[in-house]
């Protein structure tokens, strides 16, 4: 079988190590593996959005070093084309987010990937109000067209039986997904497993697919030892509450245990509403709901639904992931003014678990806290989509009126705790263990015993080769951060998100 691997993750030792692991196993199975690499041709990418030239050199230097180590012949390594001399960015016109999502080339909706990249970069789904966003979108649109063109040519030449790529939702990846779907080529996306010691593969699907994830939860649960699976499932919820899950971003560590909002009155009908950031899933079609366009719209409708109903108090707990984020979602929430609303800001250390246990009902929009509320014995209402929405672990109203009725029902019982355990078990155990990658953190990773350092023999040569694009790095830095690069930026290889919000 001929495999084409789209490999542009060299800046991340974990994701690149995952790719090396998969490539090595495919070769051991006798497959012919080809690689499509970047060689600094992309104007921007998920791991290096500003086009930091040292980042590009590290990425390609690792790629050069480790593709040779696993025995990929030079004639099977292909590169994207550098289109930096093509002239001005392609004209891009759209009225709103929905129009951007539908933008296509020959019927392939690559605008969805462009939108996903922009929403994640700016932490905002309002993409039409600033010139820098418009220019950034034009860059992403040109790049997506470039990737589609280059990949299409190579696919026609090689006629691959299967294509592998990371994640799939961003501007530099989604054109491959669309091309493979249209031309009937099997594709596989990869992502992290339950821990950094494993990885997961998603044939002909993005990792974000609710349908695929729910099927895997059910299969995983059915194949597990009945006694061990329940113990592990319960342990996931208790460890998450304590903030001690390995390899997991867990905000529970930052909360002040037992801390409640000032003036909490247990004699009221108290409702905890947990919103979530709308970054990652906003451009994923399967996550969209007919109930509302944005969570804020739903929150306002819910608040209006309780107008004139004395004795009800709403506690809106903004997700800690929104800390420091200044976008349309947070601005609208800060402007809410209802006498029966207490807004808990992302930076406040109010204990999420103490709040949900003290409140009569909880409402969520897809975040994990919705199923956690059920585990901890509270009636939980999901108003939207979630990976767990088919487990019968939450109530799923079809309208605001139905939601209001559930909240006001004094006898509404929590869903059975047992229904939550397949979710906890899956998140504790899914994925394939690594055979060749030893990963501890981004500074301590080895593949087949060779350290995945930042600097290899090829890195310095690549950096010198890329220096003519210094102006482009400066341009992208201005678009994302609003400033020119400084000498300190040479060594600043953090995610753009880390710098923007922290």
Dihedral (CA of 201, 204, 208, 211) sign: negative
What's the confidence (pLDDT) of residue 501? 32
Q: Which two tokens stand for residue 286?
A: 């399967």
CATH 3.40.50.2000 domain range(s) in the chain: 227-429
Angle (CA) 150-152-153 rounded to 5° is 70
What's the confidence (pLDDT) of residue 315? 98
Q: Which two tokens stand for residue 397?
A: 């109203």
Q: What is the pLDDT of residues 218-250, one digit of tens each?
A: 999 999 999 899 999 999 999 999 988 877 777
Q: Which residues contact 472 (CB under 8 A, 6 or more apart)?
A: 43, 51, 84
How far is residue 222's CA from residue 234's CA, in Å, rounded to a whole number?
Answer: 16
Q: What is the pLDDT of residues 371-389, one digit of tens each?
A: 999 999 999 999 999 999 9
Question: Residue 472 above 80 pLDDT?
Answer: yes
Q: Label the pairing between strands 186-192 and 198-203.
A: antiparallel
313-342 b/e with 16+ CB inside 10 Å = b? bbbbbbbbbbbebebebbeebeeeeeebeb
Beta strands (DSSP E) in 243-371 are 269-274, 312-317, 341-344, 361-364
Q: pLDDT-derived band of residue 90, with 50, 70 and 90 as boundaries?
A: low
- Strand pairing partners for 105? 108
What is the topology classification, in CATH, of domain 227-429?
Rossmann fold (3.40.50)
Give phi and psi for 186, each to the nearest 5.
-65, 135
How far is residue 38's CA from residue 450's CA, in Å, rounded to a whole number?
Answer: 23
Q: What is the pLDDT of residues 114-170, one digit of tens each?
A: 999 999 998 888 888 777 788 999 999 999 999 999 999 999 999 999 999 999 999
Q: pLDDT-derived band of residue 496, with 50, 70 and 90 as boundaries?
A: very low
20-53 b/e with 16+ CB inside 10 Å = b? bbbbbebeeeeeebbbbbbbbbbbbbbbbbbbbb
What is the topology classification, in CATH, of domain 2-215+433-497?
Rossmann fold (3.40.50)
- Strand pairing partners for 35? 5, 77
pTM for the full predicted model: 0.93
Question: Residue 459 above 60 pLDDT?
Answer: yes
Angle (CA) 422-213-199 rounded to 5° is 95
Q: What is the pLDDT of residues 204-218, one digit of tens each?
A: 999 999 999 999 999
Give phi and psi for 18, each to the nearest 5.
-60, -45
Q: What is the 3-state secondary structure (H, E, C) of 463-499?
A: HHHHHHHHHHHHHHHHHHHCCCCCHHHHHCCCCHHHH
How far is residue 346's CA from residue 100's CA, in Å, rounded to a whole number?
Answer: 30
């Amino acid at each position: 079988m001929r495999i084409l691997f789209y490999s542009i993750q060299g800046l991340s030792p974990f994701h690149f190590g995952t790719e090396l692991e998969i490539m090595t196993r495919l070769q051991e199975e006798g497959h012919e593996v080809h690689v499509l690499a970047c060689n600094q041709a992309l104007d921007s990418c998920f791991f290096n959005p500003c086009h930091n030239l040292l980042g590009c050199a590290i990425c390609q230097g690792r790629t050069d070093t480790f593709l040779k180590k696993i025995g990929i012949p030079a004639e099977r390594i292909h590169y994207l084309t550098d289109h930096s001399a093509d002239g001005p960015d392609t004209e891009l016109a759209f009225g709103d987010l929905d129009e951007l999502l539908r933008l296509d080339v020959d019927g392939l909706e690559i605008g969805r990937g462009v939108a996903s990249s922009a929403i994640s970069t700016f932490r905002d789904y309002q993409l039409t109000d600033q010139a820098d966003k418009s220019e950034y979108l034009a860059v992403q649109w040109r790049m997506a067209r470039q990737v589609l063109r280059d990949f299409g040519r190579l696919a026609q030449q090689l006629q691959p039986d299967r294509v592998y790529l990371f994640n799939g939702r961003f501007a530099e990846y989604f054109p491959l997904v669309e091309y493979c779907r249209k031309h009937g080529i099997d594709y596989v996306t990869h992502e992290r497993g339950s821990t950094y010691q494993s990885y997961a593969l998603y044939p002909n699907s993005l990792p974000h697919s609710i349908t695929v994830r729910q099927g895997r939860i059910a299969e995983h649960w059915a194949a597990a030892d009945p006694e061990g699976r329940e113990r592990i499932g319960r342990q996931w919820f208790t460890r998450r509450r304590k903030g001690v899950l390995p390899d997991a971003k867990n905000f529970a560590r930052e909360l002040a245990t037992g801390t409640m909002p000032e003036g909490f009155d247990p004699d009221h009908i108290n409702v905890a509403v947990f919103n979530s950031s709308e970054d990652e899933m906003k451009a994923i079609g399967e996550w969209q709901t007919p109930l509302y366009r944005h969570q804020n719209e739903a929150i306002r409708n819910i608040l209006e639904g309780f107008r004139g109903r004395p004795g009800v108090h709403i506690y809106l707990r903004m997700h800690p992931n929104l800390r420091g984020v200044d976008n349309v979602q947070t601005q609208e929430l800060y402007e809410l003014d209802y006498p029966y609303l207490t807004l808990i800001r992302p930076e406040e250390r109010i204990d999420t678990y103490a709040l949900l246990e003290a409140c009569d009902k909880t409402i969520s929009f897809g975040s994990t806290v919705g199923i956690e509320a059920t585990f901890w014995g509270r009636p939980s209402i999901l108003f939207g989509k979630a990976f767990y929405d088919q487990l019968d672990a939450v109530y799923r109203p079809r309208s605001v009126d139905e939601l209001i009725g559930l909240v006001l029902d004094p006898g509404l019982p929590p869903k059975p705790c047992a229904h939550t355990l397949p979710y906890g078990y899956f998140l504790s155990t899914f994925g394939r263990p690594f055979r060749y990658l030893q990963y501890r953190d981004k500074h301590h990773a080895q593949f087949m015993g060779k350290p995945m350092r930042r600097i290899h023999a090829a890195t310095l040569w690549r950096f010198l080769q890329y220096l003519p694009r210094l102006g482009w790095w400066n341009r992208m830095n201005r678009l994302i951060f609003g400033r020119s690069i400084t000498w300190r930026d040479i060594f600043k290889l953090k995610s753009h998100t880390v710098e923007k919000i922290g």
